[in-house]
Chains A and B, each alone.
Chain A
Amino acid sequence: GESVGLHLPTLSVQEGDNSIINCAYSNSASDYFIWYKQESGKGPQFIIDIRSNMDKRQGQRVTVLLNKTVKHLSLQIAATQPGDSAVYFCAESENTGFQKLVFGTGTRLLVSP
């Protein structure tokens, strides 16, 4: 079936660097995408979302880019901090009736001080 996957399982960066986490999706009908952050032993927390009619959306220190041509989603974190260390999941949803989210396997971000 359709699935969402991630290119890099682990990303290690230095504090202050910019981080880029990538995600590929295969369902061309998906029209809504979300990034979640999950710290160890906790539930996922919403970071940012984007609709398919947008290419870019910015939040506080985070930017999500959507390239529908190649079915690629990325999360950019500016000035990465140790508190950003976590697993990041992308999820996608298709707007047909009741929407269910399909989650990727996650990327672990490790930030060194």
Chain B
Amino acid sequence: DGGITQSPKYLFRKEGQNVTLSCEQNLNHDAMYWYRQDPGQGLRLIYYSQIVNDFQKGDIAEGYSVSREKKESFPLTVTSAQKNPTAFYLCASSIPDRGSYNEQFFGPGTRLTVL
């Protein structure tokens, strides 16, 4: 999985609870991303970070929050405000602005189920 780890692999939570998904990379990449994947659908961008202490909202940021205090870590918090949090969450990293390339390396994913 390209030096990106996500934990846990499976996560269950009750409605109304916040939960934090971990993402760590040892690729020395500046940029990191969080995607959500629903069954039979493509990946949708939640948040991304180009550099430490900076992050931007993606296409579906509502109900989520992130932090980027360290280069290698980009945790995602799914808050109780997220209406439909059950999904497969994928973290990725890349070396940004390398010419016109933006190959992203993905972690193994965390499957979150709200009970």
Binding site for B on A (CB under 8 A): 4, 9, 31-32, 34, 36, 41-46, 49, 51, 89, 93, 95, 98-101, 103-106
Q: Which residues of A lie under 8 Å from residue B42 when comparing CB positions? A: 4, 89, 103-106
Interface 1/0 per residue, B36-79 and A, CB below 8 Å = 00001111110010100000001000000000000000000000
Please report the number of residue pairs spanning A and B whose Cβ atoms sit closer than 8 angstroms. 62
Q: Is B108 an interface residue when CB atoms closer than 8 A count as contact?
A: yes
In whole angstroms, what is the CA distance A41 to B107 when docked? 11
**27 A–B contacts from the bound complex (CB under 8 Å):** A4-B42, A9-B40, A31-B100, A32-B100, A32-B101, A41-B109, A41-B111, A42-B108, A44-B43, A44-B106, A45-B106, A46-B103, A46-B105, A51-B100, A89-B42, A93-B100, A93-B102, A95-B100, A98-B97, A99-B96, A99-B97, A99-B100, A100-B58, A104-B42, A105-B40, A105-B41, A106-B41
Asked whether, in the complex, the Cβ of B102 is within 8 Å of the Cβ of A42, the reply is: no
What's the nearest-Cβ distance from chain B to residue A57, in Å? 13
What's the nearest-Cβ distance from chain A to residue B30, in Å? 11
Asked whether, in the complex, the Cβ of A100 is within 8 Å of the Cβ of B48, the reply is: yes
What's the nearest-Cβ distance from chain A to residue B105, in Å? 7
In whole angstroms, what is the CA distance A42 to B50 when docked? 24
Interface centre among B58, B97, B102 (most CB of A within 10 A): B102
What's the nearest-Cβ distance from chain B to residue A7, in Å? 14
